[in-house]
């Protein structure tokens, strides 16, 4: 059956599995008040904060939806809104204390997933997969950092 699936769908299945495992790890660690939709928006917040309009665009949701999800994340203590230092009229969404505390849980599960995938594929294939996906990012990720 895998031969019948297109490459993009195969990548989606693997990404969805990783996403579900990370969310499950967060829930086991007591961060059970975050939904998948909220996590997808929070994952797009840059280290210096991100404007709500940019979060909505990157998550491919309406600005109103992103605002609703950020409101929920803010009430739960995962994010905070601050003044954008480059434009006092604009606000940035930043990771707050609870989000910072949850991050090591997510990173630990990400490392477990990478280790399992490496064990399953072998070091050489995993390296080739990462290299290929990094190259694909050049033509598929309009939000990649400059020089990535």
> In tens digits, what is the pLDDT along the chain, a chain of 148 residues?
557 899 999 999 999 999 999 999 999 999 999 999 999 999 999 999 999 999 999 999 999 999 999 999 999 999 999 999 998 888 999 999 999 999 999 999 999 999 999 999 999 999 999 999 999 999 998 888 765 4
pTM: 0.87
Task: Report the pLDDT value the prediction gives residue 119, as an integer from 0 to 100.
Answer: 98
Separation CA 98–CA 83 (nearest Å): 20
Structure tokens at 9: 């769908």
Partnered with residue 83 across adjacent β-strands are: 91
CATH topology of domain 33-95: Arc Repressor Mutant, subunit A (1.10.10)
Residues 6+ apart with CB under 8 A from 27: none
The full set of domain ranges for the chain reads 1-32+96-141, 33-95
């Amino acid at each position: 059956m895998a031969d019948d699936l297109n490459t993009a769908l195969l990548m989606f299945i693997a990404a969805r599995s990783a996403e579900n495992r990370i969310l499950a790890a967060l829930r086991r660690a007591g961060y059970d008040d975050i939904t998948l939709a909220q996590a997808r928006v929070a994952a797009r917040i840059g280290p210096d904060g991100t404007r709500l309009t940019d979060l909505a665009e990157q998550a491919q949701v309406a600005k109103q939806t992103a605002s609703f999800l950020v409101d929920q994340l803010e009430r739960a203590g995962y994010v905070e809104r601050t003044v954008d230092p480059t434009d006092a009229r604009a606000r940035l969404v930043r990771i707050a204390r609870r989000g910072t505390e949850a991050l090591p849980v997510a990173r630990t599960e990400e490392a477990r997933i990478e280790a399992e995938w490496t064990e399953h594929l072998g070091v050489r294939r995993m390296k080739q997969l990462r290299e290929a996906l990094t190259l694909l990012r050049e033509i598929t990720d309009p939000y990649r950092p400059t020089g990535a």
